[in-house]
Amino acid sequence: MNVSAEPHSHSEFPTDFRGAVLRPGDDQYDAARALYQGRAADEGPALIAQCADEEDVAAVLSYASARAIPVAVRSGGHGSDGYAMPGGALVIDLSAMRTVTVDPETRVVRAQPGVKLGEMDAAAQQHGLAVPAGTVTSTGVAGLTLGGGIGFLMRRYGATVDNLLACDMITVDGRKVRADETENPELFWALRGGGGNFGVVTSLEYRAHPVGPEVVAGQLIFPFDQAADVLGKLSAHLATAPRELGLLVAIADAPPLPMLPEEVHGKPALILVVVYTGEPATAHEVVEPLAALGQPLANLVAKTTWLQANSMLDAVAPYGMRMNLRGGYLPTLSADAVDVLLDNVAAVPSNPGLVYSINISFMGGAISEDVDEDAMAFSREGAAWLWEAICKWDAPEYDAQYDEWATTLTEAMRPHALTNCYTNLTDDLGEEWRRGVHGSEAKHQRLRSIKATWDPHNLLRFNKNIAPETTD
Ligand SMILES: Cc1cc2nc3c(=O)[nH]c(=O)nc-3n(C[C@H](O)[C@H](O)[C@H](O)COP(=O)(O)OP(=O)(O)OC[C@H]3O[C@@H](n4cnc5c(N)ncnc54)[C@H](O)[C@@H]3O)c2cc1C
């Protein structure tokens, strides 16, 4: 990670700022700069401006613009690159802006950027609704949405961006604008997948859908030696899967559950994480054939609530560890791609405190079929599956070996993967890679042109950066 800024004293920071202003040495500074990515803690920012409201956001951006000081943005703090708290930087921290409202009549949900997925889910479920989003409750709605947003509802209702109705945004020079299909439509196109490149989003408005409260969900745990066979059968088996089936395949160490034989505890296993949001009485028609793809060690799929189902992965998402994340789209789950993933499980360097998982998410349905590729910046063309590899460890001396493992795996997956990808579920892989992630040169150039309109001096550069189009 190399996300440091030129240090600055900020002696002229606006005195009418209403939220907390935290500098190194202040009581709350260390707590405020903690991110999901533990490596970000190696070097602290120069100033964290914890905004109380939109006026605070505008005040910091006006201050920064006038002095050409680059600005980082923190919402939920889950970005794997640690761009939310770069060393030496000025940070706009939105985590205190966390109001969420649900209109049960119109099914519109409004969230401020400090809202976390679990909070939005809980508020929407009070009315039997849910916004399609991610699978870990501590993830921020803002960063997730601006990148795209995928999860257990994507096959039924699409990506989070497919359900985004509008955003309020503060421009880099401190003006408030709205972006939707009719007001600033080009900006709205870019905000749906182009990340935090264009301004600071202070409110997100979503279309919610009826979900649960009762769903059928849980894990089917297979021994690792059945992994290739089960994965080999999966694509054909799922060809007619209903959109109500959400499925994430995890290759990870088996948890020490009493129903699993002790000899597999802590050893690699194949785990099908199933969430079926259709009629619970019909779930067996979907779940039983999945279990019959092999001889599972445990079938933990049962009736539960949507809130429990959509938080079951929290247990494997510990906060603050050092980590890396790689991933991309697959057009098919070919035997060769599966071999690469399984071979690399065996090659993960084993150190105390290691937590790893290779996940393969089943796409198709609404996310793949219902929205035109060029309708927004977020790209999904040709993607049938999404692979991702997450490694977490707890000591800096292991950084190099896990980064090397991740790079080797990424290179080995490259021939099997698409050029476009979901930018939120991988670390930034550099300029050449960023050029392809939105799916076409035309989309890339359109993003560069929109960036030039809204952030011509690239003040917002701590992100998967889109360089502003230049006129010379
Ligand atoms: C454990 C874990 C589980 C995850 N699960 C999923 C999942 O199921 N589905 C999925 O789609 N993704 C998932 N992700 C990825 C997630 O979508 C991204 O990490 C996302 O960036 C998190 O947003 P955040 O607000 O929490 O992060 P932050 O680190 O606060 O923000 C990330 C970046 O987004 C930009 N940004 C954030 N807020 C704003 C804003 N208000 N205005 C402008 N720019 C902004 C900034 O560039 C910032 O650096 C997961 C990540 C983790 C760590």
Nearest to 74 by CA among 109, 134, 26, 31: 31
The answer to whether residue 240 sits within a structural domain is yes
CA of 308 to the centre of ligand 1 (A): 21
Percent of the chain with pLDDT over 90: 93
Buried/exposed 157-184: b ≥16 CB within 10 Å, e otherwise: bbbbbbbbebbbbbbbbbeeeebbeeeb
Instruction: Report which secondary-structure segment, H or E, holds 180.
Output: strand 176-180
Dist. CA 267–CA 254, nearest whole Å: 6
Looking at the DSSP assignment, which residues form a beta bridge with residue 314?
A: none
Ligand 1 and 149: CB distance under 6 A: yes
Query: Among 47-61, 216-230, 253-267, which is the least confidently predicted range?
Result: 253-267
Task: Express each pLDDT in 120-168 by its tens digit.
Answer: 999 999 999 999 999 999 999 999 999 999 999 999 999 999 999 999 9
Rounded to a whole number of angstroms, the CA Rg of the chain reads 22
Ligand 1 and 294: CB distance under 6 A: no
CA of 355 to the centre of ligand 1 (A): 20
Instruction: Report which secondary-structure segment, H or E, holds 336.
Output: helix 335-346
205 and 232 assigned to the same domain: no
**Is the model's pLDDT at 211 over the cut of 80?**
yes
SS3 11: coil
Structural domain tally of the chain?
A: 3
Q: What is the CATH number of the domain that holds 317?
A: 3.40.462.20
174 and 280 assigned to the same domain: no
Residue owning the nearest CA to atom 17 of ligand 1: 144
353 and 412 assigned to the same domain: yes
Dist. CA 222–CA 439, nearest whole Å: 35
CA of 165 to the centre of ligand 1 (A): 19
Ligand 1 and 171: CB distance under 6 A: no
pLDDT at residue number 471 = 63
Band of pLDDT at residue 82, cut at 50, 70 and 90: very high
Mutate to test the pocket of ligand 1, among 144, 200, 310 (most ligand atoms within 8 A of CB): 144
Q: Quick check: 113 and 161 in contact, CB under 8 A?
A: no
370 and 383 assigned to the same domain: yes
Domain C-terminal end among 210, 235, 255:
210
**Is the model's pLDDT at 210 over the cut of 60?**
yes
Q: What is the CATH number of the domain that holds 197?
A: 3.30.465.10
pLDDT at residue number 2 = 54
219 and 355 assigned to the same domain: yes
Band of pLDDT at residue 3, cut at 50, 70 and 90: low
Ligand 1 and 40: CB distance under 6 A: no
Ligand 1 and 304: CB distance under 6 A: no
Q: Which ligand 1 atom is at minimum distance from the Cα of 425? A: 15
Task: Express each pLDDT in 6-47 by its tens digit.
Answer: 778 899 999 999 999 999 999 999 999 999 999 999 999 999
pLDDT at residue number 353 = 87
Q: What is the CATH number of the domain that holds 40?
A: 3.30.43.10
Ligand 1 and 74: CB distance under 6 A: yes
Nearest to 147 by CA among 464, 469, 467: 464
**Is the model's pLDDT at 1 over the cut of 80?**
no
367 and 416 assigned to the same domain: yes
**Is the model's pLDDT at 271 over the cut of 70?**
yes
**Which residues span the domain enclosing 113?**
100-210
Q: What is the mean pLDDT of residues 224-253?
A: 96
Q: Quick check: 132 and 371 in contact, CB under 8 A?
A: no
Dist. CA 164–CA 188, nearest whole Å: 9
Percent of the chain with pLDDT over 70: 99
**Is the model's pLDDT at 105 over the cut of 60?**
yes
The answer to whether residue 36 sits within a structural domain is yes
250 and 123 assigned to the same domain: no
Dist. CA 75–CA 330, nearest whole Å: 29
Find all residues with CB under 8 Å of 108, minimum gap 6, and list them: 102, 165, 205, 206, 207, 208
For residue 409, what are its two tokens?
A: 């795996």
Task: Express each pLDDT in 336-367 by its tens digit.
Answer: 999 999 999 989 998 888 999 999 999 999 99
Helical residues (DSSP H) of 414-466, grouped into ranges: 431-436, 441-454
65 and 124 assigned to the same domain: no
Dist. CA 444–CA 194, nearest whole Å: 10
pLDDT at residue number 8 = 85
Ligand 1 and 260: CB distance under 6 A: no
Residue 439 DSSP one-character state:
S
168 and 271 assigned to the same domain: no
Nearest to 221 by CA among 259, 289, 264, 272: 272
Ligand 1 and 144: CB distance under 6 A: yes
Dist. CA 38–CA 42, nearest whole Å: 8
At residue 33's C-alpha, the angle toward residues 30 and 36, to 5°, is 120
SS3 416: helix
Q: Which ligand 1 atom is at minimum distance from the Cα of 74? A: 30
CA of 265 to the centre of ligand 1 (A): 31
Ligand 1 and 151: CB distance under 6 A: yes
**Is the model's pLDDT at 401 over the cut of 90?**
yes
Q: What is the mean pLDDT of residues 433-452?
A: 98
pLDDT at residue number 472 = 54
